[in-house]
């Protein structure tokens, strides 16, 4: 315990702790909507596209955020549109696009010769979180929480019944685009800590765990956020102690919590 407390005093550690906690909670809250709407693959697709854009920015010596953010946001529009319009075919399209994006990212990294730093993007690194990332994480958290508070009723209706929402005159497409943009921003920010290969798990797993025990949309959102926060703290602690990638520790913590919730729910 003393060793952990000593580690947290380092700037990179508290930056990762605060930024990661905020991003994880935001991801889990948005994950509730994605899980209930059966859009779980969207997070995976965006993460692979994020990796391709990061590879390109590294090859061009451009700050990753300038390429990754617009690329992932644009991709979120396309993925959400395909998923809404083609249902099952949309899942296939996302799988194809994500595989192609991952392959493209690897090719770009190999051709440019800049592969040394890509492992941190793939698997996450607490050392990659800068003061700027911390500030952006706080801003993103404020935006996501404010959006849920202000738009709660409409998001609730849209999540459970788009047809009913349309009869009330709610522009369902617009609200779902808002969710997709916020999800894209969470993916871009989360790639720093958890890595592109694992960020989709941070979005989906807490919501899946919460769905087992929650009794209503509000409790589902709260429990998902709580599970995500707990999983991140425990996963980050494990990564510090055993010197493993932070993303792997966070995902394993989420998986363990999911298993425990399932077992306890059946007992």
In this predicted model, what pLDDT tens digit does every residue of 216-225 receive, in sequence order?
888 999 999 9
In this predicted model, what pLDDT tens digit does every residue of 241-250 receive, in sequence order?
788 878 888 8
- What percent of the chain is predicted at pLDDT more than 70? 84
Query: 39 Cβ partners below 8 Å, 6+ apart?
Result: 33, 80, 83
Top mean pLDDT of 32-41, 126-135, 202-211 is at: 202-211
Q: pTM of whole model > 0.95?
A: no
In this predicted model, what pLDDT tens digit does every residue of 141-159 receive, in sequence order?
888 888 888 888 888 888 8
In this predicted model, what pLDDT tens digit does every residue of 159-173 receive, in sequence order?
888 888 888 888 888
How far apart CA 165 and CA 163 sit, in angstroms, is 5
**Position with higher pLDDT, 231 vs 84:** 231
**Residue 230: its pLDDT value, please?**
93
Sorted by where each begins, the domain ranges of the chain are 2-120+129-266
The whole-chain average pLDDT of the chain stands at 80
Superfamily of domain 2-120+129-266: ABC transporter involved in vitamin B12 uptake, BtuC (1.10.3470.10)
């Amino acid at each position: 315990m003393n060793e952990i407390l000593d580690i947290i005093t380092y700037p990179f550690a508290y930056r990762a702790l605060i930024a990661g906690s905020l991003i994880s909670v935001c991801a889990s809250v948005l994950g509730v909507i994605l899980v209930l709407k059966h859009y779980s693959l969207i997070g995976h697709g965006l993460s692979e596209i994020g990796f391709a854009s990061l590879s390109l920015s590294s090859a061009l010596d451009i700050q990753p955020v300038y390429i990754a953010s617009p690329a992932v946001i644009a991709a979120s529009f396309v993925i959400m549109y395909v998923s809404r319009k083609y249902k099952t075919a949309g899942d296939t399209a996302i799988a194809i696009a994500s595989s192609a994006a991952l392959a493209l990212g690897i090719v770009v990294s190999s051709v440019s010769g800049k592969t040394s730093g890509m492992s941190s993007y793939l698997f996450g690194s607490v050392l990659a979180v800068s003061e700027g990332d911390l500030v952006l994480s706080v801003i993103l958290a404020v935006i996501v929480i404010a959006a849920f508070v202000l738009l709660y009723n409409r998001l609730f209706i849209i999540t459970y019944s788009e047809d009913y929402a349309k009869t009330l005159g709610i522009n369902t497409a617009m609200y779902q685009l808002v969710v997709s943009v916020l999800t894209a921003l969470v993916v871009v920010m989360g790639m720093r800590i958890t890595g592109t290969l694992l960020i989709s798990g941070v979005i989906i797993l807490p919501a899946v765990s919460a769905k087992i025990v929650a009794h209503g949309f509000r409790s589902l959102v709260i429990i998902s956020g709580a599970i995500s926060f707990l999983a991140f703290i425990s996963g980050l602690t494990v990564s510090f102690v055993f010197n493993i990638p932070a993303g792997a520790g966070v995902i394993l913590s989420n998986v363990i919590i999911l298993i425990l919730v399932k077992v306890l729910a059946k007992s």
